[in-house]
Structure 1
Amino acid sequence: MLLFTLNIFFTLTSPASLTDFSTDQDALLAFKQAITVDTNGVLSNNWLPNNSICHWTGVSCGIKHHRVTALNLSNFSLHGKLTPHLGNLTFLQSLDVSSINFTGVLLAELSNLRRLKQVNATSNNFTGEIPRGILTNMSLLEDIDLRFNNLSGELPSDICNNTPKLKRLYLRDNQIYGKIPTSMYKCIEMEDLSLSMETYQLKLGI
C-alpha cells in the first residue's frame, strides 16, 4: 500500500509534468485559430508547430521549465476573440492583449491562471461583465488594466477578498455602474485606482 502511494506521489510531482509544454502549445495554437485578421502575419508566419513556442513572437518562457510565463501581443494588429484555451497556460504570469481590436467577452477561464500577476486588455472592444474570479480570487494578481472597452455590470461585492496583492486597478471608460464595494479596503497594497467614467455612476458604498 505504501509503495502504491509513493508511486502516485512521484507520478504527480514528476519533473516531466512541469517540462511538458505540449499543453501550452495546444492552447496557443487554439488561440491562433480564433484570430480572424492577422494584418502583419505575426502569428501566421511565426507561430508554427515545428518551432519551439519559446521562440514564438510575443511569447516568453521560464528558464527552468520552459513553460509560457508571458504573452505580449500589444499592438499586433490582430482581430478576433480570446479563447477558453488560454486558461490552460497555467504558468502564465503576464498577459498583454492591449490595443488589438479584440471583441467578445473576457473569459472566466482566466481566473484559472493562479500565477497571473498582470493583465492588460486596454483599448479593445470587450463587452459583458468582468469575470468575478479575476477580481475576487487571484492571490498573486497585482495589476489589472481594462480601460477603454465596453465592459458593463457591477463590481463584485467581495472584490479584494482573495486578491491581497492588487496594487493597480484601471476600469475607467467602460460601462461599469453601481457602488464601490466596501470590501475594497482588503486590497491593502492598492496604490492606484481608476474608476472614473463620463457617466460618473460609481459612488462609494456605505
Structure 2
Amino acid sequence: MVLSFNLVDEFALIALKAHITYDSQGMLATNWSTKSSHCSWYGISCNAPQQRVSAINLSNMGLEGTIAPQVGNLSFLVSLDLSNNYFHGSLPKDIGEIPQSLFNISSLRFLNLEINNLEDDEISSFSHCRELRVLKLSINQFIGGIPQALGSLSNLEELYLGYNKLTGGIPREIGNLSNLNILHLASSGINGPIPAEISISLHCTGLISLIIAFREVFQWIFVNIFLISKD
C-alpha cells in the first residue's frame, strides 16, 4: 500500500515536470529521473517513514509552463513554493481538494506562487486549503474580487495579494482571521474603506502589518498601518 501511494506521488511529480515547457537550468531534465527515488529529486522533501512528498520548492528556477492538476494528488503536501518563475494560465481547481475516497485531505500550510504570470477570475478555491498558514499570490495577473470565503481560513497568518488586478473592496470576512499577522494588498487594485472588522480592537488581534495601496482618480494613496498586538 505504501508503494502504491508513493507511485501516486511520483506520477504527480512527473506530471508537474511534463507541464513545464522550459527549464532554464535543465535541473528537472537531468535530476528528476525515475532511476532514483523521487524523494531525492531536486526541490523535493519527503516525510518519514511514509516517504510521501511533503514539500516542493522550485522557486527562482526560471521555469515556464502551467501547474499540473495532478499536484492536487499530493495528499501529504505541506509546503509548495513555485515563486519567481514563469508559470502561467489559470490555476488547477483541485489544488488542496484531494478526494477523500483516495487519500486524506492535504495539510497544505505554505503556498507561495508569487512573481509568476498566473491569472484567474477568482481565487476562492484556496478556501478549501483549511490548514493554510501562509498564502502568497502577489505579482501575478489575478482579477476579480477578494473572495469572502478566504475569511474561513482560520489558521491563516500571512496573506499576500499585492500587485495583481483585483477589484472591489476588502470583504469584512477577512476580519474573522484572528491569527492573521500580515495582510499585504499594495497595488492590488482594491478600493474602498478598510472594514471596521480589520482592527486590533476587534477580530484581528494578532495583526501587526497591514499594507494597502488605493488608487483614486489620478493619485496613489499609500496606507501603511503597523499595529502592535496586545502580546
**TM-score range relative to shorter protein:** 0.7 to 0.9
Q: What's the offset of the Cα at 1:99?
A: 0.6
**Could you tell me which residue of structure 2 aligns to residue 171 of structure 1?**
161
**Could you tell me which residue of structure 1 aligns to residue 133 of structure 2?**
142
Match of 1:37 among 18, 22, 25: 22
Q: What is the identity, as a one-letter code, of the residue corresponding to 2:36? A: N
Q: What's the offset of the Cα at 1:171?
A: 0.4
2:149 is aligned with 1:158: yes
Contact 2:108 2:132 (8 Å CA) reproduced: yes
The CA distance in 2 between the partners of 1:144 and 1:18, in whole Å, is: 31
Q: What is the identity, as a one-letter code, of the residue corresponding to 2:51? A: H
From the superposition, tell whether residues 203 and 178 of structure 1 become closer, same or farther in structure 2 (CA, over 3 Å): farther
2:46 is aligned with 1:61: yes
**Could you tell me which residue of structure 2 aligns to residue 3 of structure 1?**
none
From the superposition, tell whether residues 198 and 34 of structure 1 become closer, same or farther in structure 2 (CA, over 3 Å): closer
Q: Percent identity?
A: 32
Gaps of 5+ in 1: 1-15
From the superposition, tell whether residues 190 and 28 of structure 1 become closer, same or farther in structure 2 (CA, over 3 Å): same
From the superposition, tell whether residues 72 and 152 of structure 1 become closer, same or farther in structure 2 (CA, over 3 Å): same
**Could you tell me which residue of structure 1 aligns to residue 120 of structure 2?**
128
Q: What's the offset of the Cα at 1:198?
A: 6.5
Q: What is the identity, as a one-letter code, of the residue corresponding to 1:88? A: N
For residues 39-68 of structure 1, what are the alpha-carbon distances to aligned partners after superposition, in whole Å with 9 as ceiling and x for unaligned? 111100011112100000000000121000
Secondary structure, counterpart of 2:8 in structure 1:
helix
Secondary structure, counterpart of 1:204 in structure 2:
coil
Extract structure 1 runs of 4+ deviating beyond 6 A.
Answer: none
The CA distance in 1 between the partners of 2:119 and 2:32, in whole Å, is: 27
TM-score w.r.t. length of structure 1: 0.85
The CA distance in 1 between the partners of 2:18 and 2:128, in whole Å, is: 29
Q: What's the offset of the Cα at 1:105?
A: 1.5
TM-align CA RMSD: 1.8
Secondary structure, counterpart of 1:111 in structure 2:
coil
Match of 1:72 among 57, 67, 70: 57
2:76 is aligned with 1:91: yes
Tell me which of the two structures has the higher relative contact order, counting C-alpha pairs closer than 8 angstroms and 6 or more residues apart: 1
The CA distance in 2 between the partners of 1:196 and 1:89, in whole Å, is: 32
| Structure with more of its chain in helix, by fraction | 1
Q: What is the identity, as a one-letter code, of the residue corresponding to 1:112? A: E
Match of 1:117 among 79, 94, 109: 109
TM-score w.r.t. length of structure 2: 0.77
Q: What's the offset of the Cα at 1:27?
A: 0.5
Secondary structure, counterpart of 1:71 in structure 2:
strand
Q: What's the offset of the Cα at 1:160?
A: 1.9
Which residues of 2 match residues 177-196 of structure 1 at below 5 A? 177-196=167-186
Contact 2:166 2:189 (8 Å CA) reproduced: no
From the superposition, tell whether residues 148 and 180 of structure 1 become closer, same or farther in structure 2 (CA, over 3 Å): same
The CA distance in 2 between the partners of 1:41 and 1:181, in whole Å, is: 43
Q: What's the offset of the Cα at 1:204?
A: 3.4
Secondary structure, counterpart of 2:120 in structure 1:
strand
Gaps of 5+ in 2: 99-105, 197-231
Q: What's the offset of the Cα at 1:26?
A: 0.4
